[in-house]
Structure 1
Amino acid sequence: MSIDRSPPGAGRARTWRIALVAAAGIIAAVVFVAIRPRPTPTPVAALRLALATPDELTVGAGTDFPFGLSLAPDGRRLVFAAAKAGAVQLHLLDLTTGDTQPLRGTDEGVLPFWSPDGRAVGFFAAGKLRVFRFEDGVVSGLADVAAAEGAAWHPNGDILFVQTSGNSLVRRQPDGTIVAFTTLAPGESGHAHPSLLGNGRDLVFFVQSSEPTQQGIWLARYDNPSDRTRLVRSDAHGVTLDDAVLYSSDGALVAQPIDVERRAGRGRPVLLGASVGRSPHHRLFATVGGDVVVFGAPATSLRELRWVDRSGTTVGTVGEPMDAWDVRVAPLDARVAVARVDPQLKTLDIWTYDGTRPLPRRISPAIDADEAPAWSRDATAIAWVSGRRAVTVRGARAELPEQMLRKFDHPVRVSDWSDDSKWIVVS
């Protein structure tokens, strides 16, 4: 795919006006971009400022939700999840004054999203889809959810979201009724992160699939979501701005204008940022509001795994520094199973490290996110969860192909094995 890198005013009939603002203090390498399509070429205006959050706040909600920022429709307020003394809560940052305040009643809140009028913020917390209303500070529960996979609030009052990870989108109507919205096609393992176009009649959402021809960002009609087509292949979801979708292309943030009548992109994508991050669960580090885009660079989360003795003294290391999530030590020896991000493919996979081998051994071959490894008690097999809901097992030396034991309709984790290694504990 080609990317338009020519500067505004280089002869295009339709250009993007962009103002870059370097921000510090929210998360590493967050960049603010003011962007709006203009009928005539306009020179780029670059602005720079520093934004700071209170020192006691750690922005993000753990490794699952390292970004979690959401801009208001007017682009002047920002809601984000942050931890204080280990407790996660939503906070509101006024971009015009720099003031930050916690939103009471939003404990454990993640993936916030705004109502179209900017008077309320929806979020996910404690197995519920909830809403915080600024007028009176009241928090209400709207629906049960088993996983947070993003949401979109339509001007008619509908809210699109996913009740169960690895499933299709549902629609919550203003009267509280929840009805099916999209349907998984053969080969698709989940829909997530809906985002409405400015016309309110179309939307994009992310389709997860092990098939390269299916995974990516899809365009659908709101009144007939079965009428859909894939816009771009992508390993992370997209966000919309008017009639364009912003997404990651080879690690860069680009904007692709959409011709909704042709159900396809219009022209070449426009480069907005040289580097944008995403999580292993396909969440793009970007949010849009008004004429502002906020995006974050890829998170630097390399960890050095160390062996320590009872006094805390380091006596050895495990492999090179890596983006490690789950770490399990074999019960009978010093082998280690790690869920780590592949630096090339950006997928979450299970690997084992053995002091007798110079290189690690990859256990899980699937493209889906693989996590929560657990050794059998005799250390001959490893079980894990693929795609957040499929319990899978394979021999610890990877001699034979993996075997999927059961696929659940909700997210699960492998906790342990029975003493005789015949049963697997799933939570």
Structure 2
Amino acid sequence: MPVTAGTHEQQLKIEDNSKPTVESERRRRRAWLLLVGALVLALVTALIFAAPYSSHAPLDASQARYELSVPGIVPGLGSLSISPDGQRVAYTAAVEGDRAVWIRRLGGVTAQQLPGTENAVGLFWSPDSRYLGFIADGKLKKIDLSGGPAQALCDASIVPAPGAWSRSGAILFTARGKSNGSVIGRISALGGEVRLVTALDASRKEVFHAAPQFLPDGHHFLYHSLNASQGVTLYLGSLESKSAKQLMTIGSLATSSPAIYVAPGYVLFRRNRTLMAQAFDQQLMALAGDPILLAENVASVFSGSENGVLVYRNRSSQQDEPWGSSPLVWFDRHGQPASQVTAPASITAVVNWLAGLKK
């Protein structure tokens, strides 16, 4: 078929329209580069925030710090606890006069109140980070964070100390003694009979035992003893025997804080508002080496996960009472409590805290 001038001109227009111009090619390349850049930035951001909180992801040698605002956090023993997988922080706060547990993800910006945890103290987690244990209304309780009401397991001591939950399903907590004082009790996470695993030593003038911490073998544990003459002392106990081994003197009841065991093998404790770490030999069941400074100006509550995340409350002007909680309260003209006074507070989260060890 012969090509006329008209058809040839139309064909040229079609061919011209089918080929990208230099300007359109530049725009396309620029858009592609912007898209790739955005994807890379999103991927890097996701890795930064997600990798440290994965229970399986190895932590690199770098260290990251986050400061989280926790309005209304209640001072005192057991008011802060991080989940074993290092992803969520539980803390007790008084918001608009109501004291309850709040849950916040380290990568998140908001916290949610946990229903059924009114007046809770002594927070601790199950090993799988699914359940939270606590003391409320004189009872040891647990609650499933995926939903459902809190379940009372047994009576507990008035000492607001956190408990400990082993991988075999045993819970250690501060229980009422047979006569006076408090000792360490054991109960199944499913409930049942309470068995006392420590006994007060009259020769040491012990007043109470509190704040147990399971060691990795699931049989030995750390606990604290209040002595009328020496203050608070850290002991090593066993589920198989009521014999105890002294590990260290913590300090006076007014200024000391409960020590905690954290993976891969350290005991963390506070001296003069300074957070310290000391190695623990799991073969000898004894402390090893010299204490190492971790952080300064630390309040009485701190907690560690199994994958290297450490959280602690920053000390403020608010009264800090390690072994109890007696917040200031406003009273009206009739002598009735009107509101609870709380100061602005924050906690620091340190990812891979081992990288920051210094003597």
Aligned-partner SS, 1:112: strand
Counterpart of 1:168, as a letter, is V
CA shift, 1:297, in A, is: 3.7
Task: Give deviations 1:170-219, integer Å, cap 9, x for gaps.
Answer: 1112441111110111211110000112332321111110232x731112
CA shift, 1:46, in A, is: 4.2
Which residue does 1:272 correspond to in 2? 294
**Residue 265 (structure 2) pairs with residue 247 (structure 1):** no
Which residue does 1:59 correspond to in 2? 73
Measured on the aligned residues, the alpha-carbon RMSD in Å equals 2.9
Instruction: Give the conservation status (yes or no) of the 8 Å contact 2:78–2:123.
Output: no
Counterpart of 2:220, as a letter, is D
Which residue does 1:366 correspond to in 2? none
Which residue does 1:204 correspond to in 2? 222
| Equivalent in 207, 220, 228 of residue 244 of structure 2 | 228
Instruction: Give the conservation status (yes or no) of the 8 Å contact 1:59–1:66.
Output: no
Instruction: Give the conservation status (yes or no) of the 8 Å contact 1:254–1:269.
Output: yes
Change (3 A) 1:177 1:326: same
Which residue does 2:213 correspond to in 1? 195
Which residue does 1:375 correspond to in 2? none
**Distance in 2 of aligned mates of 1:50 and 1:325:** 23
CA shift, 1:99, in A, is: 3.3
Change (3 A) 1:250 1:326: closer
Instruction: Give the conservation status (yes or no) of the 8 Å contact 1:195–1:240.
Output: yes
Change (3 A) 1:81 1:302: closer
Aligned-partner SS, 2:299: coil
Percent identity, aligned pairs only, is 26
Counterpart of 2:122, as a letter, is L
CA shift, 1:67, in A, is: 6.6
Aligned-partner SS, 2:66: coil
Q: For structure 2, list consecutive stretches of 5 or more residues without a partner in the other structure.
A: 1-51, 54-58, 252-256, 321-325, 330-359
Change (3 A) 1:48 1:71: closer
CA shift, 1:82, in A, is: 1.1
Task: Give deviations 1:277-320, integer Å, cap 9, x for gaps.
Answer: 23xxxxxx1111121111124442369xxxxxxxxxxxxxxxxx
Change (3 A) 1:59 1:326: closer
**Distance in 1 of aligned mates of 2:104 and 2:328:** 33
CA shift, 1:121, in A, is: 0.3
Aligned-partner SS, 2:250: coil
**Distance in 2 of aligned mates of 1:231 and 1:100:** 37
Which residue does 2:313 correspond to in 1? 296
Which residue does 1:172 correspond to in 2? 187
Which residue does 1:159 correspond to in 2? 171
CA shift, 1:251, in A, is: 3.3
**Distance in 1 of aligned mates of 2:108 and 2:245:** 42
Which residue does 1:142 correspond to in 2? 153
**Distance in 2 of aligned mates of 1:74 and 1:222:** 26
Instruction: Give the conservation status (yes or no) of the 8 Å contact 1:197–1:244.
Output: no
TM-score by length of 1: 0.54
Which residue does 2:232 correspond to in 1? 215
Higher strand fraction: Structure 1 or Structure 2?
Answer: 1
Change (3 A) 1:199 1:275: farther
Which residue does 1:84 correspond to in 2? 95
Which residue does 1:125 correspond to in 2? 136
- Superposition pairs for residues 307-346 of structure 1, below 5 Å? none
**Distance in 1 of aligned mates of 2:195 and 2:319:** 42
Change (3 A) 1:90 1:257: same
**Distance in 2 of aligned mates of 1:52 and 1:44:** 26
**Residue 302 (structure 2) pairs with residue 286 (structure 1):** yes
Instruction: Give the conservation status (yes or no) of the 8 Å contact 2:200–2:206.
Output: yes
**Distance in 1 of aligned mates of 2:162 and 2:235:** 15
Change (3 A) 1:121 1:189: same
Aligned-partner SS, 1:272: strand
Counterpart of 2:212, as a letter, is P
Which residue does 2:340 correspond to in 1? none
CA shift, 1:262, in A, is: 2.6
Which residue does 1:263 correspond to in 2? 285
CA shift, 1:130, in A, is: 1.1
Which residue does 1:181 correspond to in 2? 197
CA shift, 1:43, in A, is: 10
**Distance in 2 of aligned mates of 1:146 and 1:48:** 36
Q: For structure 1, list consecutive stretches of 5 or more residues without a partner in the other structure.
A: 1-32, 35-41, 279-284, 304-323, 328-427
Instruction: Give the conservation status (yes or no) of the 8 Å contact 2:153–2:191.
Output: no
Which residue does 1:237 correspond to in 2? 258
Task: Could you list the structure 1 runs, at least 4 aligned residues long, displaced by more than 4 angstroms after superposition.
Answer: 324-327
TM-score by length of 2: 0.64
Counterpart of 1:80, as a letter, is Y
The structure, 1 or 2, with the larger RCO (C-alpha pairs under 8 Å, 6+ apart) is 2
